[in-house]
Amino acid sequence: MEPLNALVVFLNFVFIPAAAYGAQLALGALGVTLIYGILRFSNFAHGDTMAFGTAITILVTFALQGAGVTFGPLPTALLALPVGIAATALLVLGTDRSVYRFYRERKAAPVILVIVSMGVMFVMNGIVRFIIGVEDVVFTDGARFVIDARGFREATGLAEGLALRSTQVITLVTAAVAVALLFWFLNRTRTGKSMRAFSDNEDLALLSGISPERVVAITWIIVAALATTAGVLYGLDKSFKAFTYFQLLLPIFAAAIVGGLGNPVGAIAGGFIIAFSEVMVTYAWRKVVAYLLPEGLEPTSLLQLMSTEYKFAVSFAILVIVLLFRPTGLFKGQSV
């Protein structure tokens, strides 16, 4: 029995990757939940908004690298991130102006707006592929590891190594900063409070003189920032591929709905729930269990509940279960 080694394996292959992935999903789900709370529809174009922001950030990163600018041990993409956010904000504000506002003024039913957002999704899909292509793009630079496996083994004398990649640390820190900023904005500033008021009771917000168009515009800008940040962090952690970002839509929606649509705290919790479920259900537990059981009792099978190809089934199953038994989500959002 070597529980320490078991813990290291667990941290290395389950906890750290799931935490980083959870932070990325949480940022994505926050965007979805804000749109749902303020504009009252499910934005299917969110995955492609993330892809667009990441694509622009990658191009700026390459330009910076070409000009010889780097960010020391940190990835250059973080320097390019503000440009990506600004470009995405312009794109979503333009989309709102040209597409969503038309339906808003006609007080279209939410289901119509959902379909409209699917149309927007296809258009953005095309734009992103035009800009950056369909291939895998790796744009990480700077230091690769904060702790590497060999160094850890040598320092601790354990059989198992623990690797902590710098992108994972950056993901968690950036996500924490973004969430703290968002909550400070929503709870402490006048504009943020007016957004919550608008989400809570639109008619009364109008009676109080809160301008809906201004609230909507600010929401889009925040969503652009969250989506681009989430996309860039995911791309740094793994790699960028337009199709992968489109696929991220499912876990992101699952996260937002599990937490309760329209509820920011729920979106964060949902992101981590989905990420941990996905990683834990598709992880082969043999090594961890082998370290925990007495010698001679090592399992012969992989102890993997589902192969990694089925990871989307996990979020889908959770989504269905939540919709069946608790349609408003864990943190009491609006019902779908």
- Which residue ranges make up the site for other proteins (CB under 8 A)? 190, 193-194, 196-197, 200-201, 203-211
Type and span of the H or E element at 41:
none
For the CB of residue 330, give the shortest distance to other proteins in the complex, in Å: 16
Nearer Cβ to other proteins, position 215 or 232? 215
Q: Mind giving me the DSSP string for 224-280?
A: HHHHHHHHHHHHHHS-B-HHHHHHTHHHHHHHHHHH-TT-HHHHHHHHHHHHHHHHH
For the CB of residue 206, give the shortest distance to other proteins in the complex, in Å: 6
Report d(CA 131, CA 29) in Å as an integer: 25
For the CB of residue 260, give the shortest distance to other proteins in the complex, in Å: 12
Residue 137 pairs in a beta bridge with 240
Show the tokens assigned to 197.
Answer: 């008021």
Report d(CA 140, CA 233) in Å as an integer: 10
Nearer Cβ to other proteins, position 211 or 304? 211
Nearer Cβ to other proteins, position 66 or 209? 209
For the CB of residue 265, give the shortest distance to other proteins in the complex, in Å: 12
Nearer Cβ to other proteins, position 129 or 193? 193
Nearer Cβ to other proteins, position 139 or 331? 331
Number of helical H runs and strand E runs in the chain:
16, 2
For the CB of residue 201, give the shortest distance to other proteins in the complex, in Å: 5
> How far are the Cα atoms of 71, 96, 274 from residue 52, in angstroms, in the given order?
23, 16, 24
